[in-house]
Structures are given as C-alpha cells and as structure tokens.
Structure 1
Amino acid sequence: MATLPAYDLTGRTAFVTGAASGIGRATALLLAEAGATTHCADRDGQGAEETAALIARAGGTAHPHLLDVTDRTALAAAVHAAGPLHVMAAIAGVMHTSSVLETREEDFDRVLAVNFKGVLYACQEAARSMIDAGVPGSIVTMASGAMDTASPGLLCYSVTKAAVVQLTKTLATEVGPYGIRVNTVAPGWVRTPMTDRHEPAAQQQAEAAMIRHSPLGRVGEAQDIAHAVLHLASDASAFTTGQILRPNGGVAMPW
C-alpha cells in the first residue's frame, strides 16, 4: 500500500511500549507499514516477538524487546540499543478496578508505576536520544477518555491517565526548541485484551452504553487508535505539539 508522503516513516526508527497486544501491537504494525524500523517492547516477551514476526512477514523491519517499563535502567538500555529514535509511542498501561474506599496502597502504586512512571521514563529516554542525535522527533503518549469523567471504580486508572496529560504538555514546552513534538492520545472505549477482561455480560452492557452515546454508533478498535498515533508520529502533524487527540467516536466532546 502506498503511503502518503507526510505519513511516510521510511528511514526512521520507532519504539513502541506495550507492543505485545491491543493498541500497542496495532500501533507497531502500522508504524512499520509506514516504513519505520520498529522496536516492539513489552513485559510479555513472547507477545513482543509475535508482533515483530508479524511485521517481518509483512515485509517490515522490527526488533522485539522483553521490557518492563517500570525498570528505568532496562528501558534506558533498550532505547540506547535501538539507536537514535525518531518516534516514541509510550502505550504500555494497566487497569485496576476498585472503589475509592477499597483502593489499597499497593494497587495504586502498581498502576502509578506503569501508567505514569513508565511513561515518564519512556519520554525521558526518547527525548534524550533525540536531543543527543539532533533528531527532530515525535513522542506520543497514551492517556484515556476516563480522565475526563468520574467513573466509579477507576480512580487509579483515571488519575494516572490525567497525570500523563500534564506530563505531555510540560515536556512539549521543554523540548519544543529541539524540534521535538509531544502529544497524547485519549481513546474512548476500545476493544482490546484489557477491556475484554470483563465478564461477557458486563462487557456487552458497557459496549452497548458506549454505542448509544456515540454519534458514530460503534465502539473503537485498536486500529482506530493506531491511526491516531501514526498521525501524531508523522510529518502530517508537524505543527502539532502539547495536544490531546481524542478518538472516542464522539462519546465525549470536551473543550
């Protein structure tokens, strides 16, 4: 498939965390299809290898990494090994469900470690790689529509995703002079292994509610979000930084 010039990533290097499944895998596949040499990182090493194999079978170039994003030293080593980066897609994340009163310290610490600290570390290492190499790159983080609403049971998830937005905006102001853009994607309900963990009845009920409130009349697929990431990673968004892109089917339309 021919790639529009603004979306052509040929000759560029991309690093994707959370690449073993869901939005991370879809993003890795799409960035590779656009021409990027794609590094697929995940704590699920087998899943990361499978994603890299899918890219290779499609004619692309990919390298798998067994990586826990909460391990700052390991993440720094993986980014360094990948060489000068042009794109970082920090997608790895986890979800924990509990009421505010039932939330334990260890639960919050785990979600905070992956959803915020892991994104912070990825952003830091990517920015350092780009600055040291003089590369005008793009960093894309993953927030969530949950940050805009009060959703019972999603305190840990919502708070950490809101924090990612502030990280994104702050970093954008700091690295813009180096030609580095930093943006975030805040998806609505998307069918992924993370959302599929609900009981079937609860899953259907949640999806039905989203469909009723969506002007487009459907829930999202991982590919929908991957296209949003590609847009922000590419030259098509060359004048875009510090922004929130909300692919949510119109379920929410905040200012």
Structure 2
Amino acid sequence: MHETLIRDFAMDGRVAVVTGAGSGIGQEAACVLAEAGADLVLADINADGLAETARLVRERGRTAAPLPVDIADRSAVDDLADAAVQALGKVDAWVNGAGILHPFAILEAEEATLDRLLNINLKGTYWGCAAAGRVMKPRGGGAIVNISSAAADNPVAALSGYAMTKASINMLTRTAAVEFGSFNCRVNAIAPGFVETALVAGAYCDEQGRIDPERREAFLRDRAAATPLGTTGRPRDIALAILYLVSDASRFVTGQVLRPNGGVVMP
C-alpha cells in the first residue's frame, strides 16, 4: 500500500476516547484504532470487559487508560473528558459507542424502562458530544462518531424505544456538525445493520441465559436473508467504518450517517 494512503488512515500520535469499550463494537473499535496507531481512553460501566479491552489495546503496542463510567451521568461524562486530557494530553477522536437494547411493545411500555433507554442511548450520546466538543474546541478540532442503528430507518415491532433513541442520534449528529464545524470538529454517525454481539444474544438464549445453538443458527440465518448481501455484520466491519470517520481520510465528511448494514435499509 502506498505510504500516502496509509497516512490518510493513520492515527499515530492521536488520542481517542471510546465509550462502550468493554464489549462488542466498542471493544473492536478500540482495537482497530490502536492498530491504526491511536492511544485509547476506554470507558464502560463493565469493569471486567474494560480490563480485557485495555489488555487488547496494550497488546497492540498502544497506551490504554480504562475508566469505569456511567454515561447516563452527565458529570461522569464531563469527568471522562477531563481525565482523558489529564492522562494523555488531548482528545482527537471520540466514539460514543455505549448503548443498550431493550425490546418492548408500545402498549406494554414501562416508564422506568423507557427512561433507561433515553438516559443511556440518547442522553449519554448527547453528553458525550458536549464533553468531546468542549475539550476539542480549544485545540482547533477533532472528530466525533455516534453509533446509531438501522432501526432508526426501519420500523420493527417491539423496538420503538430503541429506534426512537437512534433516530434522535441521527439528528443530534447533524446539529452538532453544524455547531461544531466552526472549530473544525467533524461529527458523524454510523448506523449498523445486524451485528452479532452480546447486545443481541438474548434473542437466542434459553431461560438460564445460555446460548441455544439451534436458535442462534436460525436467528442468524433469518437476519442474513433480510439483506441483499445475504450476510450479517461483524464488529470489525463497523470498527473499520469508525476508523474512516475519525481519520484524515474523511476530512471533508461531517453531519453524515454512514450505513454499513448489508443493504437491509437504503434510505
């Protein structure tokens, strides 16, 4: 590969914050950014997963600063930004990867469950954008990536609360791109299609929480059949898209929703 192309995607000398880094897409994003040369500040409420991600980042020769954080707490997210600057000197990229999935029918919705979805998925991303923008502005820019979902474009029964948060993230992304563009901070979102992670494992687990291999195979087969490509996503598919959006390769891209989804929706 030509060295100029490598430079476009290189993250050498840069610092990235990844929330939701303890598992799934967040963990893989941290690993890919480390492979590209970034040092990482890792945030998650899952301490064990956070420790494992830190190990994987260090295994790739980069610095990892793991910090247990509840992103639903605005002050904790602000503290995360300050801790990142204190630990590694700056923040060049911020990935709002933390989120939850809780299916329920509208007629059966409980206020506490809906509030939890809003607090983590939407408000957590909102405070992440605000904290990232605050520490990036004095340095003259950076890149923020929010994790949306194909559910924002495709209505699915029992996903009203989840889809609502993700659709809101799309508009938050556009608005933040307008507000932050004046100090050269790019804000984009990624809306994945189906990706097998612990977030969706409940769909094929038995009553004891153990994975049922036959149910899993059938579930994945159905998800794959719903896409023109006839396949499902992997965390690395999304992590590579994140790398594009935080690297110089996307210097002219802001306010966009990138959809690595196998073609399941084409808005």
Q: Structure 1 residue 109 and structure 2 residue 122: aligned?
A: no
The match for 1:180 is: 185
Q: Structure 1 residue 98 and structure 2 residue 104: aligned?
A: yes
Which range moved further: 49-58 or 185-194?
49-58
The match for 1:235 is: 248
1:56-107 deviation line (CA, Å, top 9, x unaligned) = 1221111101011011111111211111211000010001111110011111
After superposition, residues 37-186 of structure 1 pair within 5 angstroms as 37-83=39-85, 84-134=90-140, 136-186=141-191
Q: Structure 1 residue 4 and structure 2 residue 6: aligned?
A: yes
Q: How far did 1:214 drift?
A: 2.0
1:209 to 222, 239, 244: 222
**For residues 117 and 202 of structure 1, do their structure 2 counterparts lie closer, same or farther at Cα, with a shift above 3 Å needed?**
farther
1:94-145 deviation line (CA, Å, top 9, x unaligned) = 01111110011111000000000000011000000000232x2000000000
- Report the secondary structure of 1:229's partner residue: helix
Q: How far did 1:45 drift?
A: 1.4
After superposition, residues 9-28 of structure 1 pair within 5 angstroms as 9-28=11-30
Which 5+ residue runs of structure 2 have no aligned equivalent? Answer: 205-211
What's the TM-score, normalizing by structure 1? 0.95
What's the TM-score, normalizing by structure 2? 0.91
Q: How far did 1:196 drift?
A: 1.4
CA contact (8 A) 2:47 2:68 kept: yes
Q: How far did 1:211 drift?
A: 1.5
Which range moved further: 197-206 or 17-26?
197-206
- Alignment partners' CA distance in 1, 2:238 and 2:215: 23
> Between Structure 1 and Structure 2, how many residues are aligned?
253
- Alignment partners' CA distance in 1, 2:230 and 2:79: 44
- Alignment partners' CA distance in 1, 2:110 and 2:254: 36
Q: How far did 1:207 drift?
A: 2.2
RMSD: 1.5
- Alignment partners' CA distance in 1, 2:215 and 2:114: 24
The match for 2:233 is: 220
Q: How far did 1:202 drift?
A: 5.0
